[in-house]
Amino acid sequence: MDAGGDTAWRRLCRWWRSPPRPGLQRLIIPWVYRRPRFFGAADLLGAGVAGSAGGICASYGASGWATFFFVVAALSLAGGWWYLSIARSLWR
């Protein structure tokens, strides 16, 4: 059915490749790459919320849920820190 035109898949691939980014930064979604400081701060805020939820669950003795929220907080903290380090390197 497709006559080799500009398909949605090709547009998506072209969108994903622009702007060109080096190395591991290709793993970052383009709209996050354009505003890494905002998304880094949002991740750090989310880590705080998840850590608070983990603390509340731990205080009520729900250790499974507390572990889950603490892991989510740790991953979010690492992601936010990575985005902020990318933002610092972009402005040098």
Helix (H) or strand (E) holding 73: helix 63-90
Residues 6+ away with beta carbon under 8 Å from 65: 54, 57
- Unique residue bearing structure tokens 């354009």: 34
pLDDT digits (tens, 9 = 90+) for 7-31: 787 777 776 666 566 666 667 777 7
Tokens of 88: 């610092």
- Cα gap 92→87, rounded to integer Å: 9
pLDDT digits (tens, 9 = 90+) for 21-64: 666 666 777 777 778 889 999 999 999 999 999 999 999 999 99
- Unique residue bearing structure tokens 């990575």: 82
